[in-house]
Amino acid sequence: MKSYTVRRKLHIRSGGQETRKVRRGVAPKRPPGRTPRIAKLMALAIHFDDMVAQGQIEDYATIARLGQVSRARITQIVNLTLLAPDIQEEILFLP
């Protein structure tokens, strides 16, 4: 019995509604200039933490009040700073 090996370059593209399509060739590159939301939130968390540490803002409740969001949401964002530094770096430099 003979065996054959087939080599192809392909990528999987999400079509929405959990459908996935297999396409020939390599995956197209993302358009430049789009920063992932999690990277923006990570940068915001670091900025908020620095503002409180330097005394520019009294506390996180003040940030919540000024930003017109709940204190719980600010806590969620600032908790990103509790991640390990190497994970924070990976998040900040996502493509």
Asked whether the whole model's pTM tops 0.85, one would answer no
What pLDDT, in 10s, does the model give residues 27-80?
767 667 788 999 999 999 999 999 999 999 999 999 999 999 999 999 999 999
* pLDDT score of 3: 82
Find all residues with CB under 8 Å of 39, minimum gap 6, and list them: 91, 92, 93, 94
- Closest of 80, 21, 73 to residue 45, by C-alpha: 80
The H or E element spanning position 20 is strand 20-24
